[in-house]
Amino acid sequence: MSLERRISSLEDTELEVMEQLESAQRSLAEVTAETDEMAARAGELQSALDQAVSDLDAQARVALGERELLVSDLPEPLVTLYERMRSQADGVGAAALRRRRCEGCRLELTASDMADTAAAAPDEVLRCPECNRILVRMSDIGV
Ligand SMILES: [Zn+2]
pTM for this prediction: 0.62
Whether residue 142 has pLDDT greater than 90: no
Q: Positive or negative CA dihedral for 91, 96, 101, 102?
A: positive
Q: What is the largest CA-CA distance in the chain?
A: 116
User: Strands, E, within 13-125: which ranges?
Assistant: 94-98, 101-102
Q: Identify the pLDDT of residue 20.
A: 98
For residue 84, the Cα-to-chain-centroid distance in whole angstroms is: 26
Last residue of one domain, picked from the residues 73, 100, 117? 73
pLDDT digits (tens, 9 = 90+) for 127-140: 999 999 999 999 99
Query: Could you give the CA distance from residue 118 to residue 59 in angstroms, rounded to a whole number?
Result: 37
Look up the domain containing 111 and give its range. Answer: 76-137
Say how many Å lie between the CA of residue 131 and the centre of ligand 1: 4
Query: Residues 116, 88: one domain?
Result: yes
Last residue of one domain, picked from the residues 58, 73, 88? 73
Q: Is residue 53 part of a domain?
A: yes
Count of structural domains, the chain: 2
Query: Could you give the CA distance from residue 70 to residue 62 in angstroms, rounded to a whole number?
Result: 12
Query: Residues 48, 106: one domain?
Result: no
Query: Residues 1, 63: one domain?
Result: yes
Using a CB cutoff of 5 Å, list residues around ligand 1, an ion: 102, 104-105, 128, 130-131
SS3 141: coil
pLDDT digits (tens, 9 = 90+) for 51-107: 999 999 999 999 999 999 999 999 999 999 999 999 999 899 999 999 999 999 999
